[in-house]
Amino acid sequence: MKLAMLKKTGTRRRSDDPLEAQLVRLSRQNAALRKEIARLEAYRALAYRDPLTGLWNRRYFDERLAEEISRSERAGSGRRFSVMVIDINDFKLINDGNGHQAGDAVLQWVAGFLTTHLRTHDVPCRTGGDEFMVLLPDLPAEDCGRILDRLRDQLRGANARRDIPVKLSFGTASWPEAGAGGERLIAQADEAMYADKRRQKTDQEADQNTSDDQQRVLDAPPVAATPRRTRPRLGRAASVV
C-alpha cells in the first residue's frame, strides 16, 4: 500500500511539474500554428494558382521575376537567368472548331507538357488566355537555343500521339543582355515569340503551296501523245538507158 501511495504521489508530482505543463502548452500552440499555416497556404494557392491548369499565375510570375532580378543584381554579372514566352498557335480555331471544353483540355495539356519537359527548378506560369511564361533561373542567353530545340523536338514527338496537334511559338530573353527591368525582358521575349510565330506561318504556307502544286500535277489530265509523222517513202528513180 505504501508503494501504491508513492506511485500516486509521484504521478501527481509529474503532472504538476511546471516544465511539463509548459511543454503541453507549447505543443498545443504549435498544433494551432500548423493549422493556421495550412489555412494561409490554401489562401495563397487561391491567390497565386491558375485554377484551370494548376500552374502559377501572372501575379506569382511578376513577384518571382522581381526577386530574380534583385538577386542577380546583388550577385553581379556572374548570375544570369532567362525568361520564356509561349503562345498556342491558332488557339481560337481550336475553340471554334472543337468547342471550349477542347480548348480547356489543350490548355491543361500544354501545362502538363511544360511541367514534364522543363527543368525541375524552372517556373512555368499561365499568364493569359493562351499565353504562358517561364522563369528560367541560371540559364544564360547562349543556352536558350538548346532548350528551345529540345522543347520543339519533344513537342513533335508528343503531337504524334494526339488527335488535335498543338503548335507552340516560343521566345526568350536573358538578363543582363536584354537590359534592366522586368518589362524589358518580357517585351523582348514577346517579340521573339511573335517572330517565331511568323516564321512558322511562312513555313506552313510554303509547305501548303508545295503540296498544292504536287496535287495539281497529280490531278492534271494525261497529255495525249502526239503521233509521229513519217515521211512517205520515195521509190528508186528509174535508170535512163
Catalytic residues: 130
Q: Report the Cα 160 to chain-centroid distance in Å.
A: 18
* Spatial strand order in the sheet of 131-137: 123-126, 131-137, 81-88, 168-175
Return the H-helix or E-strand segment holding 44: helix 18-48
C-beta separation of 55 from 124 below 8 A: yes
Give the 3-state secondary structure of residue 132.
Answer: strand
Measured distance CA(175)–CA(73) in Å, rounded: 10
- Cα separation, 69 vs 181, in Å, equals 8
